[in-house]
Structure 1
Amino acid sequence: MASSLHNLLSKIIKTGTLIVRGSGGEQRYGSGGGRSVSIRFIDEAAERELVADPPLKLGELYMDGRLVIDDGDIYEFLALIKDNTLSEGLTFGMIWRGIARVLVSQFRNRVPINHNRRNVAHHYDLDEKLFSLFLDEDWQYSCAYFNPPGISLDEAQIAKKRHIVAKLLAEPGQKALEIGSGWGGMAMYLSESSGVDVTGITLSTQQLKISNQRAAKRGLANSVRFELQDYYYLAPDKRYDRIVSVGMFEHVGRLNYPKFFDKVNDVLADDGVMVLHSIGQPYPALINNPWIEKYIFPGGYIPALSEVMPSIEKAGLLVSDIEILPMHYAHTLRHWRERFMANKDKAAALYDERFVRMWEFYLAGSEMAFTHESFFIFQMQIVKKRTAVPDNRDYIYEREAELKAFEDSRIPLDKVAV
């Protein structure tokens, strides 16, 4: 085993057990107890590459099959690393690469080039069959709401829609806008449950096609429409009574927060209500994870609340409610990863084995962000006038009960007659 890797792991792994098999045979790290994981390096160069740049190379080596998990899985390995402190294990190579990434990130933040369409296509315009392998029946590709605890993924995704629509205070005859409409599930639920006319906008051609097909199948073509549209170019003279955005804000980018909320201010009616559902992190980050940036979500950024609030205030908007959901995305990602791995042969047939390992690493690493790095979901209710919403939260639970009754009578999409 490369001496640099041995020195690094000796400093990092104090609790739990890590068995490493490589060029120099087998080595054991940690004091035992807790997690136990065994990994194997296929070539000595992989050991040196990992030490030189762990944030990028760990994922790449796993994708390429040069780092193999013999006992445990990739989530357990990542969690074992995070269970231990990393502060003493920094090498000179990690430090200078980190500095270089900070400089590049700061430069990009000051060159506001709009690559939204390209960045969205990189992830969301993959073969739709891939997403059918692990999402719920309504293809909700955002955090579910596991209330009550222990419900299924499908039940939790319905609960998420119910919770958000209750916060919107939607009423028949209103016009609503969904920014980042995905495969159309939220827009259709909002329209059917509340009698609202909904316009959904997306930058994914695949999602646009599928969401329009699904709305037509439900007979909602006159009340739900989807458009290939960037929020930035929404006409300011068209107002919406309700705005909802779920899982899209992570793609806006921190330099664009003022533009985003200025646009919300432009298109939200004076007595309107918006609900923003997004991943958050506990403090601002200097850089994105380089592996996620390169392979999964180019141009994405997870905001801290301290970065979001100033832009809301400067846009002249008011925050009327914030709810923090700490662990619901960890549960969602665990369901997704288990479903995906149960269908990994089908995923490999769509792409290849390397893609399967890439997607597994993405889902495992994302889950770990919520279990070990204090990431969370925030749902923020935003208004122009404080009188647009009640001064207590009882209405949310009362409306959820009404929506639950609607769901009990709603025909599932796969049962709708064509």
Structure 2
Amino acid sequence: MKLITDNFLISFLQRFDEHPFDVKLHGKTHHIGEGNPTFLVNLKEDIGNNELITSTSLALGEAYMKGNLDIEGDLYQALDHFLGQMGKFSSDHSKLKKLMFSSQSKKNQEKEVTSHYDIGNDFYSLWLDDTMSYSCGYFKTEEDTLYEAQCNKVERILQKLCLKKDMTLLDIGCGWGYLLIRAAKEYGVNGVGITLSKEQKKIFDERIEAEGLTGKVSVELMDYRDLEKCGKTFDRVVSVGMVEHVGREHYELFVKNAEAVLKPGGLFLLHYISALKEYPGDPWMKKYIFPGGMVPSLREMIHILSDHQFYTLDVESLRRHYYKTLRLWERNFNENRPEIQEKMGAEFVRMWDLYLNACAATFHNGIIDLHQILVSKGVNNQIPMTRWY
């Protein structure tokens, strides 16, 4: 039975009663749910009523970042139980309009993207694997390492693209370049990557030279909206974890630009974080982790692709693979926590630890998904008829 207390925060938290936990505030412990508590929320000070109602996510996330809220027990387990009840969160979009719907101008989107990816290559190298892949891996077995899973993922994408020697491949949002380097070395393709991150381009250029791929692979600082007028066409196009940054109003523009540079009959593989339905996103995530980020639903991407005469060949969900990837990132992150905290500060470390664990929990609960969609520009009768070609 729910008990109404004279404290708004405790009364508010009682709605999250599917899994039992305790809340400690002002020296008093309150039990929520039925059964033995699996974790304890230790609040060093109260959280304002207006903050909780305006955005539960922002209010609790900021309290954790600042150390005003601590979890005694396993952080991931607490988030897995709590975020499975996100439908009970409060969010006043009228008050959060500027945060939730930021400018889609080139200048602002470049600023938003670089705010995340240009934190520093030293930072990312501390917890990513040697491929420097910052996207979902693919685990063929439970024993696969993070490095093996990232290699598996790239190979899976390249196989789906049916690459042949001397084909041209464009990677929209190429990251640090591992996919194109592997495509050039193993399949003999000529690759071009585009990114908005100067830090990523720096590492990619170094890798191209080190691998002896100068003239075979190149990377450019370019906005996807400039592809249509770049004057180039490609046999294949791939985009991994990039469309989430373009904004719902620009999904069609993104697809239109991919269509413009893909040759007739060419294949396009889109790998992206997806959702069951369309929603504007999480306020805390938009404010602190991915400004301007928006997760497309599977159905809206399929609809837009179809409008541009892209024929859907294959759709695959890798949701549980991303859950496992995030758990390994979080482990690596916390193994290097002292070094990261020395460089970035305690609040940054708590923010990123919360981000990695919260993402793992949302994938585990099916709040978000990961899909790979393979399409052809027009009809392609030359590719193999079976899926595992």
TM-score, length basis structure 2: 0.92
Q: Tell me, yes or no, if structure 1 residue 15 matches structure 2 residue 16.
A: no
RMSD: 2.1
1:393 aligns to 2:382 (yes or no):
no
Residue pair 1:63, 1:355 contacting (<8 A) in 2 also: yes
Q: What's the counterpart of residue 180 of structure 1?
A: 173
Q: For 1:356, what is the secondary structure of its paired residue? A: helix
Distance across 2 between alignment mates of 1:67 and 1:266: 50
Aligned residues: 382
- Name the amino acid aligned to 1:343: N
SS in 1 for 2:354: helix
Aligned ranges 1:70-109 → 2 under 5 Å: 70-73=72-75, 75-83=76-84, 87=88, 94=90, 97-101=92-96, 108=101
Structure number with the higher helix fraction is 1
The DSSP-based 3-state class of the residue aligned with 2:231 is coil
Q: How does 1:279-298 map to 2 (within 5 A)?
A: 279-285=273-279, 287-298=280-291
* Structure 1 gap segments, 5+ residues each: 396-418
**What is the CA distance between 1:112 and its match in structure 2?**
4.5
- Report runs of 4+ in structure 1 exceeding 6 Å deviation: none
- CA drift at 1:130: 1.0
8 Å contact kept, 1:279–1:378: yes
* Paired-residue identity, %: 32
Q: Work out the CA distance in 2 between the residues paired with 1:228 and 1:136.
A: 24
**Paired residues for 1:129-140 under 5 Å:** 129-140=122-133
Residues 194-237 of structure 1: per-residue CA shift (max 9 Å, x gap): 00010111000000011101111111112111110111102353
Is there any run of 5+ residues in structure 2 with no aligned partner, and where?
A: none
In 2, Cα distance between the equivalents of 1:105 and 1:85? Answer: 19
Q: Tell me which amino acid in the other structure corresponds to 1:229.
A: M
- Between the aligned partners of 2:71 and 2:294, the Cα distance in structure 1 is 29
Are residues 1:123 and 2:97 paired? no
Query: Secondary structure of 1:277's match?
Result: strand
Give 3-state SS (helix, strand or coil) of 2:133's partner: coil
How far is 1:359 from its partner? 0.3
Instruction: Say which of 30, 33, 50 aligns to 2:33.
Output: 30
Contact 2:233/2:262 (<8 A) preserved: yes
Equivalent position SS for 1:11: coil
Question: Of 304, 309, 334, which residue of structure 2 is paired with 1:311?
Answer: 304
Q: The residue matched to 2:14 in structure 1 has which SS?
A: helix
Letter in 1 for 2:330: R
Aligned in 2, Cα 1:140/1:85: closer, same or farther, shift over 3 Å?
Answer: closer
Provide TM-score, normalisation by structure 1: 0.86
For residue 260 of structure 2, the aligned residue among 232, 248, 266 is: 266
Q: d(CA) in 2 for partners of 1:118 and 1:375?
A: 25
**1:5 equivalent in alignment to 2:9:** yes
Structure 2 residue 43 is matched with structure 1 residue 59: no
Aligned AA (1:155): E
SS of corresponding position for 1:377: strand
